[in-house]
């Protein structure tokens, strides 16, 4: 077996709110969404639609968001194990200070930007679904 890629599929409370958070605050782009009728579209969300799933992109990476309701239908065993902040994502980025300054007043900062003992410059935020996102860049 040769692993070709890993894409995160995060359970979220509300697709529309989560997409708005990730696109308007964190700078991701909406790539595709799927509603509960299994209709797919790209590029924009509509207020009158209940969404089941969305794919976001940033740089060369994808992030999948799936509603609690949709995941409960697809994978009912997850309800037994799901808890808030069960995953912490660690994202390596460029220009971390510029990025931090552009979002710090619009997010819940869990840990301020700092240089670590292991040579990384990093900060952590808590997203609107309770996930912890760590952003890092190799320190100077």
**CATH of residue 9:** 3.10.180.10
| pLDDT at res. 80 | 59
In the listed set 37, 65, 82, which residue is the last one of a domain according to the structure?
Answer: 82
In the listed set 35, 55, 82, which residue is the last one of a domain according to the structure?
Answer: 82
Gyration radius from the chain CA atoms: 16
For the chain, the average pLDDT equals: 86
Q: Is the confidence at residue 113, as pLDDT, over 90?
A: yes
By CB atoms closer than 10 A (0-12, 13-18, 19+), residue 80 is exposed
pLDDT confidence tier of residue 85, bands split at 50, 70 and 90: very low
Q: In terms of domains, do 62 and 104 share one?
A: no
Which structural domain range is residue 51 located in?
1-82
Q: Starting at the edge strand that comes first in sequence, how are the strands of the sheet with 61-67 ordered?
A: 8-12, 61-67, 51-58, 29-35, 40-41
Q: Which residue has the tokens 């952003």?
A: 135
Q: In terms of domains, do 76 and 14 share one?
A: yes
Q: In terms of domains, do 67 and 30 share one?
A: yes
Most confident option among 35-44, 78-87, 102-111: 102-111
In the listed set 56, 82, 108, which residue is the last one of a domain according to the structure?
Answer: 82
Q: In terms of domains, do 31 and 96 share one?
A: no
From 10-14, 23-27, 44-48, 122-126, the region with the lowest mean pLDDT: 44-48
Q: In terms of domains, do 7 and 63 share one?
A: yes
Q: In terms of domains, do 91 and 128 share one?
A: yes
Q: Is the confidence at residue 5, as pLDDT, over 60?
A: yes
Whether the CB-CB separation of 19 and 42 falls below 8 Å is answered with no
pLDDT confidence tier of residue 118, bands split at 50, 70 and 90: confident
pLDDT in tens, 49-83: 889 999 999 988 899 999 988 888 887 766 655 55
Q: In terms of domains, do 56 and 97 share one?
A: no
Q: In terms of domains, do 3 and 46 share one?
A: yes
Q: In terms of domains, do 26 and 44 share one?
A: yes
| pLDDT at res. 88 | 76
Q: In terms of domains, do 21 and 39 share one?
A: yes
- pTM equals 0.81
| pLDDT at res. 100 | 97
The number of folded domains in the chain is 2
């Amino acid at each position: 077996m040769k692993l070709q890629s890993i894409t995160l599929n995060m359970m979220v409370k509300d697709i529309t709110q989560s997409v708005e958070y990730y696109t308007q605050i964190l700078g991701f782009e909406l790539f595709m969404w799927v509603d509960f009728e299994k209709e797919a579209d790209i590029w924009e969300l509509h207020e009158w639609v209940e969404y089941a799933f969305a794919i976001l992109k940033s740089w060369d990476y994808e992030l999948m968001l799936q509603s609690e309701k949709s995941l409960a239908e697809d994978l009912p065993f997850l309800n037994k194990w799901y808890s808030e902040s069960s995953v912490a994502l660690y994202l390596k980025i460029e220009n971390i200070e510029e990025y931090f300054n552009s979002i710090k007043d619009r997010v819940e900062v869990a840990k301020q930007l700092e240089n670590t003992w292991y040579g990384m410059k990093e900060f952590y935020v808590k997203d609107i679904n309770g996930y912890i996102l760590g952003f890092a860049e190799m320190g100077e």
